Amino acid sequence: MDNYIVSARKYRPSTFKSVVGQRALTTTLKNAIATNKLAHAYLFCGPRGVGKTTCARIFAKTINCLSPLADGEACNTCESCVAFNDQRSFNIHELDAASNNSVDDIRSLIDQVRIPPQIGKYKVYIIDEVHMLSSAAFNAFLKTLEEPPHHAIFILATTEKHKILPTILSRCQIYDFSRISISDTVEHLKYVASQEGVNAELEALNVLAQKSDGGMRDALSIFDQVVSFTGGNVTYKAVIDNLNVLDYEYYFKLTDAVLTNNVVDSLLILNDILNKGFDGHNIISGVASHFRDLLVCKDPRTAELFEVGASIRERYVTTSQRCPVELLYRAIELVNECDLNYRVSKNKKLLIELTLIRLCQLSSNPQSVDEKKKS
């Protein structure tokens, strides 16, 4: 068996500038290093897979680099950098608080903190999922955080900032990592595909990016999965089949039915989708997003909120021009109502069908009944 490395690891960024979708934040970190304004504790918050641990590692490497480059990046060639890149640096310690959350785990970390680094200037302690520490562990850690030795820097990472004690928050510089936008994810997937010699359709990468919900690690592992499934020919069709994603096509057909007051068509489309094995609740939330996307595409200012590829955007824009705003408002309301009632409904299929019937009636009667009474 050859050495297959998953893409999330193979393409893990090793410099600040190669981190995808966190430009403002990596620039701030780089500037802090360049101007030597380092804090003793940082808190990296944000959803999973957006680069918190990666940035913490790059940060640790960069502040220890013996000959940093003019642009503020680590040189990746000095003794310290090489040790970091080979994962044998003694200046970085990672503790996963999800599985090591006892007070003893923290005590053994605190013991190490006292020992200064042998090469490089700083020892960096990354505590992942820091919100999982027990309260006893938190308290033991707090003392060290209050008076850390000058060579120690703590980077705490969490997906759940609200669970962090205020006493910890007040001692940290806080960095909020955002979800990676769909276009940034697509760009990066395009790059990985070209490096891997994989043929990938843009629309296919778009679906992958949407599915990953702003996390690059997820995006890359779904990418690997699809590459192996398709033998390196990543088409839109293969992706939606493999990931069990509902084709845009159905939503557009449904929109046509709604716009032409065609109840029969809408029910047949629903039946078709259900027969493909899609879950009713997913269909409803898909329809809701679809109408929402049509609404934002009606105005060029909000169309920017619509994150998909150019070809599909065009289709949304032209379709949205056929939809009266009032109809879209009402449609979103109706679908949202269905979404809210879905869980408690005893006859879920009927609930969706009723919603579709009411949607179709909107085109013959775009004004709501209440408004008609008023006039």
> Judged by CB under 5 A, which stretch of 32-40, 65-73, 259-267, 334-342 contacts Zn ion?
65-73
User: Per-residue string for binding with Zn ion, 185-224, x by CB under 5 A?
Assistant: ----------------------------------------
Of 6, 32, 75, 110, the one binding Zn ion (CB under 5 A) is 75
User: Per-residue string for binding with Zn ion, 147-176, x by CB under 5 A?
Assistant: ------------------------------
CB of 149: closest distance to Zn ion in angstroms?
A: 23
82 in contact with Zn ion (CB under 5 A): no
- Can you tell me the distance from the alpha carbon of 337 to that of 260, in angstroms, rounded to the nearest whole number? 22
First-residue to last-residue Cα distance in the chain: 75
> Judged by CB under 5 A, which stretch of 61-69, 173-181, 241-249, 295-303 contacts Zn ion?
61-69
Cβ closest to Zn ion, residue 82 vs residue 174:
82
CB of 80: closest distance to Zn ion in angstroms?
A: 6
Nearest to 250 by CA among 215, 286, 223, 224: 286
Of 8, 43, 56, 81, the one binding Zn ion (CB under 5 A) is 81
CB of 68: closest distance to Zn ion in angstroms?
A: 7
DSSP track, 151-180? TEEEEEEES-GGGS-HHHHTTSEEEEPPPP
Half-sphere exposure of 353 (CA within 13 A, CB side): 10
Rounded to a whole number of angstroms, the CA Rg of the chain reads 26
- Can you tell me the distance from the alpha carbon of 88 to that of 80, in angstroms, rounded to the nearest whole number? 10
Run of H or E including 94: strand 92-96
92 in contact with Zn ion (CB under 5 A): no
78 in contact with Zn ion (CB under 5 A): yes
Cβ closest to Zn ion, residue 121 vs residue 179:
121
Cβ closest to Zn ion, residue 29 vs residue 297:
29
The per-residue b/e assignment along 146-160, b for 16 or more CB within 10 angstroms, e otherwise, is: eebeebbbbbbbbbe
Asked whether the beta carbons of 206 and 309 are under 8 A apart, the reply is: yes
Of 19, 43, 65, 164, the one binding Zn ion (CB under 5 A) is 65
Query: Alpha carbon of 56 to those of 8, 184, 259: distances in Å?
Result: 16, 21, 51
Interacting residues with Zn ion (CB under 5 A): 65, 74-75, 78, 81
